[in-house]
Structure 1
Amino acid sequence: MPAFLLTPAAMTSAPSDPIFDSYKKSCGIDFVRFFSRTAKALPLPASKTKTTPLRAGSSDGMLLTIQEPTVSEIKTVAKELPEAQFDSIEVFYDFTPKGCSSLEQRKAMIENIRQWLISHLYPWQGPGLQVATRVSKGRKHAEPVFTHIVERRANANETLYLGHADPIYADPDLANYAFMRLYAKVIDNKTALLPNKWRCRLELNLTSTGCRFFGLTSPNSLFGFDFRQLGPYFRLARPDIKPCSMPKLRSWNPRMADLLEATRMRLALDTLKNVGSHAASHEPLINVDGHHRHKVGNRMIQIRLDDLTRKFKKSSQSMPYGNTWGSW
């Protein structure tokens, strides 16, 4: 084998896994938003609730948003506004560092898990998540992370967006059910969080069409909803680089084929390192097929999605964990 050829061991760029037990892992609903044709005051906490008047035909309707809703709050909406319709829901998965001895250690742990997620997250199997990525430092700021010129990761102070948060940029010929965000959460509602509340957050936002796709229609439909259905959006992979083959070139110039194949594989490896697993949607040599699942990571996600299902279960009957861990 020529010296310049890459060995199989050199084809994997994924960093080593963090110590998952050093993080508190939690999954929950960041907010729900309902559309109601009836504007009605509900007995809900004002600090968590926002109503936006919205004309609905000949009726005075509203959009009702509830931050981090509890079971009892959803039951209140289901009772008082049974005809309300899901407009949006946002589900989060947080990694919160545990046992930090200093502020710098906490920052380092958050950045470590954020980089790990960028390296392993491959969400494009989630229904209606159009392949698009960008980063943002704040309102009205956006930059690409992967083009024919740019190959980079989101910086620590940037939010990585996957899919289209603004539907005007989406392909109208394709389903657009969802978008995602990955960022270090140190601010909440424009207020700085105490350091012990800092965490790395991965969010999935379902649009109204996405809610309908998954059967989230009325407020009552949340009870008994299987949150594991959202698992493909949170899919984690252990990517590597596929062999590159140029049989026509090899038939008449084997040495040139060796050189160009190795160069092509090296460039793909650089893309994987510089961008992350999500770049596999555009780079055919990055391998994230079913044999490259991160089983431990996917199981970790599934457990918390199952916990969320239990929280909003229909009855008091127990709901066993599934037996298909890491199957995404």
Structure 2
Amino acid sequence: MTTKDNYFKIVVLIVETACSVIWNYMKQNILGSSSFESFLNLKEVKHKLVHVYEKRECCECGSDKIIGERLIAKQQLLVLYETDETKRIQSHTEYSHGKVIKVCICNYHAKQNIDIEVLDITLANYIIKRCGKGEKGLNTWMTQIKDLRNEIFHLSDIKELKDDEFKNKWKIIEGSILGIANLIDKEYAEETKLMIIRTNQLTFIPAYMFNYEILCRDYWKTKCAEFERTQCNEIEQKANALHTKLPGVFTGSMKKEWQTTMKEIHNFQMFVDKINILTKVFGNQETLGVFKDAESLGEGMKFVPILSLGPTEIFPSVR
């Protein structure tokens, strides 16, 4: 068995076997008799999942207030939900000092006839953590699969795995997969064990590169979410600093533009749209002048041109 065979066997184990077991676990232990579409449209489920992306308080945050985190990119949320602006209720949106502090999520609804198999490991992991039963060992097994997925991706330049590394990683992933399978039932766990053995006996042909591509796409979705989270936070911090330090510059007109721009930031559909928004916010001479004037007011106001980061070069294959 070659080192390349080792590598691609791990890829197949993650992309095919691990994902299949995770989907089946969710069908049996989380969805039950409900369709995935019906499950996603449940008020409490939608509330929890929207706040995996949306940090601000929403119209459902009453007695069940959730502290939101931007753990995924907007495009990942839109794998699950569509948005219908006609369903958005204007009175549900609240403002403070010219920026949105509370949003309406009534416009989100699950994609019609959505299949659970659209989920990658990242999305499945967050749904299980937010909406699952918290079964013993499950979070550990999901984390091990996700972390090993990342480790395997970082070997994608050489696509090789030595025998001792292969055996160690295989043992960890196999244990995690079988742990999840046993939460379904013993018979399914036995079937899964046979599936794992067959995967270890595979002879590889180029068609298995498709699984490698799936693994890479899954990984880069997570990295894009991290990049998106960082950039949006920087925009919010600098705009808040402008409002606090230079209230004379932050006119009523700029408040209105701030609301519009932040709405665009939180609703952009493609990665390139964010580049356009960053150019709009920081790219004109008037705004650059304001930031130069603000540099002397304190730490955190120094302007660094966002486009110098070259996001289209960092993520050339992301859509």
Which band: TM-score by shorter chain? under 0.3
- When the two structures are superposed, what TM-score results if normalisation uses the length of structure 2? 0.26
Higher strand proportion (structure 1 or 2): 1
**Bigger share in helix:** 2
| TM-score, L = length of structure 1 | 0.26
